[in-house]
Amino acid sequence: NEVSAFTNIADILVVSPTDNIVNRLHIMNNQDVKAYLHLSEIFFEQSGTNAPSGTNYNLRIDYQQRWNDFIATNSLQNNTNRIQAFYVGEEPTWNGISFSDLKSATDYIKSTISEIPILIIEAYPALNNLEIPTSVDWVAFDHYFIKDPKNDSVFLNELSILKSKFSSANQKLVFVIDTHYIQSVAQPGQRGE
């Protein structure tokens, strides 16, 4: 109910294959909110410090079993109408996730539950090196503290780079909303900021 007044989606972080999220899905749906499931922990594990972010991740050896366990724990095939998207490989290039590892994860998800879109969000400094598997449906990038994205040449260039990385005509662009810039309303006798 914290977000239902202004949004129709919200994140559920999944950290274990045995996380039972069905009750949370029902609660969110009762508020007219659909979940996107943040699944990076199911598929990837920290493996070093040589990625651009300072922490890199590799695909878990048992990622298929972990995903199958999560599906079974939550009867996901029976709850697909409650889920907006699967969010996989948080900032994959920035966090050193190889293209082959990302592709293996997203291909496997798509082979098990094809009707739910798969989302990736990349960090803006890594956009030039981003590769997007065709099994990914929605693509975004995050660059915060941009005051006026519509007129910011750096942001618009990053947006062009992201679009050029699409690997399928069916992939869709998702915008990550930044709420850091909210102008204050001037009170009588005060200057607005």
Give the model's pLDDT for residue 74.
96
Q: What is the per-residue pLDDT across 103-137, written as a single tens digit (0 to 9) for each? A: 999 999 999 999 999 999 999 999 999 999 999 99
Q: How far is CA 87 from CA 16, 48, 140, 153, 188, in A?
A: 15, 22, 11, 28, 45
pLDDT above 90: residue 150? no
CA distance 105 to 14: 15
- Supply 147's token pair: 């005051």
pLDDT digits (tens, 9 = 90+) for 49-61: 999 999 999 999 9
Q: What pTM value is reported for the model?
A: 0.87
CA distance 23 to 29: 10
